[in-house]
Amino acid sequence: MPLILIWMSQTPLRRLEHSDFLAWEKRVVQRTVWFGYGLAMMALVGVPAAQAQDTLDEQLRQPVNRELIQQQRDVADQLLRLGERQASQEDYQSALRAWSRSAEIYYEIGDSASMERTYGNIGRAYAQLGDYSRSETAVRRQLAIARDNQNFSTQIFAWNTLGSLRLQQGAVASATQAYEEALNIAVSIQNADGIGLSMSNLGLLAAARGDYAAAIDYFEDAGNYRIQAGNLVGRANTSNNLGDVYLAQGQQGKAIGAYRLGLSYGRDSNDLTAKLHAIDGLIDVYSERSDWSQVRHYLDERMALTLDGDSDWGRLITFKRLGEFYEATGDLTSAQVRYEQAYELANLLDETTLRAELFNRLLTFQGRQDSRD
């Protein structure tokens, strides 16, 4: 008897987005065609129909090739980790290629939990590249899978991400709705970290519309929940956001306290972004006070964190802030040198707004030089 091969999809039947559904439907059609073809071939070689049906049913009941699936999962996991390393080095295009392939493999083997994580990574990478439309598409896929899996934690963070993406595009009402949806889910399952994140984002919205009292309430409550969850990075971010609000209100003493707390949590968690946010806030406050010794102290810390690092953006901002410090304290020669270093990096990174600002500052220095000559 000839061996009749039956092609089978490993993809579980679940709610799929339109593009995914088309791919799944194609697999079902292909499987049905091969099934009918197998029956026909058996009939041609004289196998009775009932026996042919039993033979094919037995083939369909054969165990899945678990070794092959594990090999595929290993490849997908390696691609996932590769993309995460590339993203940490700000090589988002390469990371997207790795993650897109890993998502395809996870789909083929039906690993929906890993698909959640991968689509979340893809969404964040597109956001870093400023492609908010594709970012939103990826996050919505993550959210759809999380709903099917009843993974409420992922739903909370996906809704928060969607809110931030909508806010980036100026859709304040839609962003508010997304943050509130996240908060409702977090409260319903008593997820302290999710409550803290959602409240912190609602605080940012309140601050953006000038409602500082509401923003402070949100940030203070968010900070408590993030401590309860043991999220030091989240606590650092919330403290820094609170410092931003106090600074906008002119409450310099409270701003210093909030930024110092944010810096402390940032150091404890070794989170570079949180540390730089706090340091920049402290530089701003002490600059307003003309306390240049404190400004220099925090500039030195910023230099230690960025000048030997991998981030050109971090070095750009450090050089710009050093230029501002030297200009404010009357060392115009040093200020010009630092502005020139920042300008070169702005060119390299194609940061048009900063490049224009730095160019105008350098023109001012050139004008001063010409007037002296």
pLDDT digits (tens, 9 = 90+) for 106-125: 999 999 999 999 999 999 99
- Tens-digit pLDDT profile for residues 236-263: 999 999 999 999 999 999 999 999 999 9
pLDDT of residue 51: 62
Report yes or no on 81 lying in a domain: no
**Residue 316 within any structural domain of the chain:** yes
Find out whether 197 and 154 touch, Cβ atoms under 8 Å. no
| Among the listed residues 90, 125, 87, 124, the one whose alpha carbon sits nearest the alpha carbon of residue 312 | 90
The pLDDT of residue 65 is 76
- Backbone region of residue 170 per phi and psi (left: phi > 0; alpha: psi in -120 to 50; beta: other values): left
Range of the domain at 355: 311-373
pLDDT at 212: 96
pLDDT at 38: 42
Whether residue 126 contacts residue 96, with contact meaning beta carbons closer than 8 Å, is answered with yes
Whether residue 31 lies inside any domain: the answer is no
Residue 208 domain flag:
no
The radius of gyration of the chain from alpha carbons, rounded to an integer in Å, stands at 28
Residue 104 lies in a domain: no
Residue 28: predicted pLDDT = 34
Which parts of the chain have pLDDT scores under 70?
Answer: 1-64, 367-373
Answer yes or no: is 350 within a domain. Answer: yes
- Whether 222 is in a domain gets the answer no
How many domains does one find in the chain?
1
**Does 333 reside within a domain?**
yes
**What pLDDT was estimated at residue 373?**
55
Amino acid 21: pLDDT: 33
Nearest-angstrom CA–CA distance, 350 and 346 = 6
Distance CA 167, CA 215 (A): 16
